[in-house]
């Protein structure tokens, strides 16, 4: 904007200068006008009266009868103009692949030296605080607890704190094997991981669709007991341990498990403990909760049951079954021996 | 970035003026050669000089103005050359029309200076208008055409002033250059006023390229008819995504069912974007930001 104003001002100054020249040479102005009239409004011989009426020979630009350049010269200059155009085109060429090797690239706007090379040794992300940037960025607090470990041709990023506002590909992650074009958000700093040896997509990650489910489960404090049953969200690796005796499911924030779906009510269903087993109950008569494909009002849950709440499916896995299985396998191995 | 583009536009305008001047010079030699061969039938009206002049000026300016966007975004050579040919052809026709109208105005006893300025204005309007004809989806038609007209009028005014004080250089060189300069500068200023968002390509072949969002509607894909062309990426469709500007919101929209548009690594059909968002189209990684 400022540059435009600057340019406009300059243009004004130039035109004012032109006017001043005109005033200073005002004595010669009428003479100049005469010359212009002679030059511009020359009437030459005409082909017919009709043509003279409709197309008087007052040329716009009245180029002299003998042009100031020869044909070859003018063609050469024209070629020069074309060359200059393609020179501009060439200048606009995006400067790709100037950096090689492993490192981070700063994606924040207006950074002069955006590439940060990485040494292949175990290091923490602490070095980000020492980088000279054009603007001061707020970074996550505990960068000393985020480590980069060399792993084959690339690095493993491990976040031991997990409370950091550190996102990998815009998602919170505990441990990630980095590959080319991964985007890291460290506080306000946006970094792009560069490694041509490991192109994007070579490292298997859980599909993005799985993580799309906006399900918030109960976060257990401390380790989960072996007996605790687990709800697994279908099509995802997310596991929700049932650490309380009464758990409600619904779309409202007051629920223990918050499920945002089109057909999920604010308070949809509850799962509660009855003796040693677990029971699910539908809380609204107009909403559907199914177990193994059957619409239910209330029902005891068994290991491996498929529970759907609205349009979201869970798989119920009781803690006991796990123990039984491990016992079975132990006895089987004992028998084999 | 915006001021760089203004500069780019202005330089292109200068080059356009210079091109039309050199074309005019060589054109008059060709005209002389024609008159020597004795094809007097042609000579009478259609190759009369003012028509010639208009066509040549239009050819030079149209060639440059049409290729302006493609040059800025560094598209392929074939693409630019085809744009230049189309621009030259249409520009020549427009030049003929505008200068003839100017002559007719003189017949109707309008002041010669005024009628000349009128025809320059008309040329600016029509040149930019036809350039935009190929982007009729853009939703930014009127301001640009008007700015072209303003540029033409101011260029014409400067031309007249130079003519008055006899400072136009050899055969109106300076005047022609300034007309081209002012048309493209004004279009550039209007475009910059409308630009407050941009998309930067972050990965792959076109890395570092910045697409400035100066229209209300954009198309993105690998096809050459798109506003933003992504070449050299896998899984990009011919017409992959639309970018729409509604007030202060910029919305990205999936245009092809076969393709995927991810904003912040989430699949979207339609999504309004915010500063710093990472867009993934096929294998191309783009970043959206405000200027």
pLDDT at residue A117 in the model: 83
Q: How sure is the predictor about A321, in pLDDT bands with cuts at 50, 70 and 90? A: low
Report the pLDDT averaged over residues A231-256: 79
How many CB atoms are located within 10 Å of the residue A76 CB?
A: 14
For chain A, the straight-line distance linking the first and the last C-alpha, in angstroms and rounded, comes to: 83
pLDDT tens column, A179-228: 888 888 888 888 888 888 877 777 766 544 443 445 666 666 667 777 78
Chain B residues touching residue A190 (CB < 8 angstroms): 276, 287
Distance CA A115, CA A104 (A): 6
Residue A252 has pLDDT above 70, yes or no: yes
Residues facing A193 on adjacent strands: A104, A182
Do the beta carbons of residue A107 and residue A144 sit within 8 Å? no
Report the pLDDT averaged over residues B122-136: 80
pLDDT at residue A320 in the model: 63
Write the DSSP string, A44-77. ---S-HHHHHHS-S--SS---SS-SS-HHHHHHH
Q: Quote the radius of gyration of chain B (alpha carbons, Å).
A: 22
pLDDT at residue A61 in the model: 63
Residue of B nearest to A210 (CA): B266
Q: A244-269: b or e for each residue (b if 16 or more CB lie within 10 Å)?
A: eeebbbbbeeebbbbbebeebbebbb
CA B109 vs. chain centroid, Å, equals 34
Tokens 């040059």 correspond to: B71
pLDDT tens column, A44-99: 443 444 444 444 455 556 555 667 778 888 889 999 999 998 888 888 777 665 56
Report the pLDDT averaged over residues A144-157: 83
pLDDT at residue B90 in the model: 92
Report the pLDDT averaged over residues A290-296: 85
Region of poorest pLDDT, from A83-97, B129-143, B206-220 = B129-143
Report the pLDDT averaged over residues A254-260: 80
Measured between CB atoms, does A190 come within 8 Å of chain B? yes
Looking at this predicted complex, what is its ipTM? 0.85
Q: Say yes or no: do domains A102-195 and A230-317 share a fold.
A: yes
Residue B99 has pLDDT above 50, yes or no: yes
How much is the mean pLDDT over chain B?
83
CATH class of A102-195: mainly beta
Measured between CB atoms, does A14 come within 8 Å of chain B? no
Residue B49 has pLDDT above 90, yes or no: no
Which of A168-172, A310-314, B84-88 has the highest average model confidence (pLDDT)?
Answer: B84-88
How much is the mean pLDDT over chain A?
73
Q: How sure is the predictor about B88, in pLDDT bands with cuts at 50, 70 and 90? A: very high
Q: At what angle do helices B49-66 and B173-194 cross, to 10 degrees?
A: 30
Q: How sure is the predictor about A9, in pLDDT bands with cuts at 50, 70 and 90? A: low
Residues facing A123 on adjacent strands: A148
Residue A233 has pLDDT above 50, yes or no: yes
pLDDT tens column, B258-268: 788 888 887 78
pLDDT at residue B241 in the model: 92
**With a CB-CB cutoff of 8 Å, which residues 212-241 of chain A face chain B?**
212
Q: Give the side-chain half-sphere CA count within 13 A for A314.
A: 31
In the 8-state DSSP scheme, what is residue A145? G
Q: A180-206: b or e for each residue (b if 16 or more CB lie within 10 Å)?
A: bbbbbbbeebbbbbbbeebebeeeebe
The residue with greater pLDDT, B284 or A326, is B284
Chain A residues touching residue B192 (CB < 8 angstroms): 1, 4
Distance CA B245, CA B254 (A): 15
Distance CA A14, CA B172 (A): 19
Region of poorest pLDDT, from A8-22, A230-244, B60-74 = A8-22
Measured between CB atoms, does A85 come within 8 Å of chain B? yes
Residue A24 has pLDDT above 70, yes or no: no
Residue B52 has pLDDT above 80, yes or no: no
Q: Which of A41, A53, A88 faces B11 most closely, judged by CB atoms?
A: A88
Distance CA B246, CA A26 (A): 54
One of 2.60.200.20, 3.40.50.460, 3.30.450.90, 3.40.50.920 is the CATH number of A230-317, namely 2.60.200.20
Q: E strand or H helix at A294, and its extent?
A: strand A294-295
Report H helices in chain A: 2-24, 29-40, 49-54, 71-91, 319-336
Residue A275 has pLDDT above 70, yes or no: yes
Domain range summary for chain A, segments of one domain joined by + = 102-195, 230-317
pLDDT at residue A44 in the model: 42
Do the beta carbons of residue A124 and residue A148 sit within 8 Å? yes
Distance CA B47, CA A277 (A): 100
pLDDT at residue A213 in the model: 46
- Cβ contact A21–B165 (<8 Å): yes
pTM greater than the 0.80 cutoff: no
Measured between CB atoms, does B138 come within 8 Å of chain A? no
Tokens 């596991």 correspond to: A239
Residue of A nearest to B116 (CA): A60
- Rounded to the nearest angstrom, the minimum Cα separation between A5 and chain B is 10
**With a CB-CB cutoff of 8 Å, which residues 203-232 of chain B face chain A?**
203-209
């Amino acid at each position: 904007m400022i540059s435009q104003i600057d340019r406009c001002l300059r243009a004004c100054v130039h035109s004012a200068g032109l006017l001043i020249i005109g005033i200073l040479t005002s004595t010669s102005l009428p003479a100049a006008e005469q010359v212009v009239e002679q030059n511009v409004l020359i009437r030459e011989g005409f082909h017919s009266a009709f043509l003279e009426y409709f197309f008087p020979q007052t040329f716009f630009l009245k180029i002299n009868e003998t042009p100031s350049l020869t044909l070859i010269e003018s063609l050469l200059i024209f070629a020069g103009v074309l060359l200059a155009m393609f020179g501009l085109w060439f200048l606009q060429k995006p400067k790709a692949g100037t950096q090689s090797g492993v490192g981070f690239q700063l994606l924040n706007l207006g950074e002069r030296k955006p590439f940060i090379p990485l040494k292949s040794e175990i290091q923490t992300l602490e070095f980000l605080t020492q980088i000279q940037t054009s603007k001061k960025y707020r970074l996550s607090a505990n960068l000393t607890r985020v480590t980069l470990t060399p792993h084959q041709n690339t690095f493993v990023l491990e976040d031991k704190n997990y409370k950091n506002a550190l996102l990998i590909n815009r998602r919170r992650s505990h441990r990630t094997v980095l590959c080319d074009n991964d985007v890291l958000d460290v506080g306000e700093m946006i970094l792009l991981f560069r490694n041509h040896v490991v192109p994007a997509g070579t490292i298997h990650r859980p599909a993005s669709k799985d993580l799309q489910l906006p399900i918030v489960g109960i976060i257990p404090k401390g380790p989960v007991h072996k007996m605790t049953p687990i709800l697994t969200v279908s099509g995802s690796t997310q596991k929700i341990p049932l650490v309380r005796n009464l758990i409600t499911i619904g779309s409202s924030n007051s629920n223990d498990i918050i499920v945002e779906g089109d057909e999920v009510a604010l308070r949809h269903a509850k799962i509660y403990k009855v003796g040693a087993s677990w029971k699910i109950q539908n809380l609204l008569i107009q909403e559907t909760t199914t177990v193994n494909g059957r619409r239910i009002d209330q029902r005891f849950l068994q290991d491996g049951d498929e529970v759907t709440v609205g349009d979201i499916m869970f798989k119920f896995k009781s803690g006991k079954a796990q123990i039984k299985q491990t016992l079975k396998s132990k006895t089987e191995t004992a028998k084999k021996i | 970035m915006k001021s760089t583009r203004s500069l780019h536009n202005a330089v292109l305008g200068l080059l356009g003026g210079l091109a039309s001047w050199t074309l005019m010079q060589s054109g008059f030699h060709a005209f002389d050669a024609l008159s020597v061969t004795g094809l007097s039938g042609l000579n009478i009206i259609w190759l009369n000089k003012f028509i010639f002049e208009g066509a040549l000026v239009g050819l030079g300016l149209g060639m440059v103005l049409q290729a302006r966007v493609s040059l800025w975004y560094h598209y392929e050579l074939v693409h630019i050359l085809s744009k230049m040919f189309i621009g030259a052809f249409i520009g020549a026709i427009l030049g003929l029309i505008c200068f003839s109208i100017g002559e007719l105005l003189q017949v109707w006893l309008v002041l010669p200076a005024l009628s000349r300025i009128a025809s320059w204005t008309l040329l600016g309007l029509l040149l930019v208008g036809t350039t935009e004809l190929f982007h009729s989806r853009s939703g930014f038609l009127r301001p640009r055409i008007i700015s072209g007209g303003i540029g033409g009028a101011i260029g014409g005014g400067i031309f007249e002033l130079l003519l008055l004080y006899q400072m136009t250089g050899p055969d109106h060189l300076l005047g022609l250059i300034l007309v081209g300069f002012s048309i493209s500068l004004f279009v550039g200023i209007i475009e910059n006023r409308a630009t407050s968002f941009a998309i930067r390509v972050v990965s792959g072949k076109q890395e570092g390229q910045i697409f400035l969002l100066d229209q209300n509607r954009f198309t993105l894909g690998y096809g050459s008819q798109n506003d933003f062309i992504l070449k050299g990426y896998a899984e990009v469709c011919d017409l992959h995504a639309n970018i729409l500007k509604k007030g202060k919101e910029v919305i990205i929209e999936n245009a092809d069912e076969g393709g995927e548009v991810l904003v912040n690594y989430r699949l979207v059909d339609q999504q309004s974007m915010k500063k710093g968002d990472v867009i993934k189209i096929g294998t191309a990684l783009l970043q959206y930001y405000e200027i």
